[in-house]
Amino acid sequence: MPIRKTKPTSPGRRFATYQDRSEVTTSKPNKKLTRGKKSSGGRNAYGRVTARHRGGGAKRKYRQIDFKRTKDGVPAKVATIEYDPNRTTYIALLHYADGAKSYILAPAGLKVGDTVASGPGSDIRAGNALELGQIPTGTVVHNVELKPGQGGRMGRAAGTAIQVVAKEGEMVTLRLPSSEMRMVRAECRATIGTLSNAEHQNVTVGKAGRSRHKGRRPQSRGIAMNPVDHPHGGGEAHKGPGGHPKTPWGKPTLGYRTRKKNKQSNAMIVRGRRRGKKKGR
């Protein structure tokens, strides 16, 4: 997917880049597979801001995605490839042979008119969903389940590719994009292929207005504030925080470990995100 640049007719357009969405075949989603989506503005049930710098932005409609892919033995034809404002990858509308319709995450190379399937006996082809135990070693997959029947949890962002590395008994070892090696049960399902829109990460926003369209409000640096407002504030010149970085409420940040100790999940990690790192750290 190429990146498109515009002529620098204004300061905002000088550095901004855009996606050339030539793969997208329609601009209108399927009405029966969409529902309204309400923005929280970063506020909780009491109306208090719990996540800062959120609010505004363009209105969206949520597309209901089939992450489980349990319609076995029924072939489906790809009707459209669509843009989804709620995720980075593109989505594909499937028309099943029995008349049903559903959205799936679109892998790279999937085109209108292609046929996809799910369940035992499906070909090892982009868009087909099978159990990990039936997928050959070395195959690249996405939308991987952590528990059988739960629906895909890992590998759902644009350009994501998870590799099936090894099989041992009831467990399958996967290599995640973070280089983490994780074991998952062989009954868990995954979809073949790399996800589409891999160039998404190369887009330059270019101006503040595009961030506001996404619902991101401005963020002030702590060192630009007064001591009463932030631990980094104060001083007569530009300088760093002068110690370990902290949040506005004095808690450590930027490198401070926040991962919860989930023993059941950590036990499945063969190798951490960094080499030499202990399991689950």
Count of all residues that appear for the chain in the document: 281
Cα–Cα distance for residue pair 87/195, rounded to 1 Å: 12
Question: Dihedral through CA 244, CA 247, CA 253, CA 259, nearest 10?
Answer: 150
Classify 224-268+276-281 by CATH class. few secondary structures
Structural domain boundaries of the chain?
A: 3-200, 224-268+276-281
CATH number of 3-200: 2.40.50.140
What stretches in the chain show pLDDT beneath 70? 1, 274-281
Pick from 239, 195, 240: which is nearest to 84 by CA? 195
- Bridge-based pairing state of the strands 181-185 and 269-271: antiparallel
Question: Dihedral through CA 199, CA 200, CA 205, CA 211, nearest 10?
Answer: 180
Question: Dihedral through CA 5, CA 7, CA 12, CA 16, nearest 10?
Answer: 10
The reported pLDDT for the residue numbered 1 is 54
The reported pLDDT for the residue numbered 277 is 52
Beta-bridged to residue 166, according to DSSP, are 173
The reported pLDDT for the residue numbered 274 is 61
Residue 76, number of CB atoms within 10 A of its CB: 23
The reported pLDDT for the residue numbered 99 is 94
The reply to whether 3-200 and 224-268+276-281 are identical in fold is no
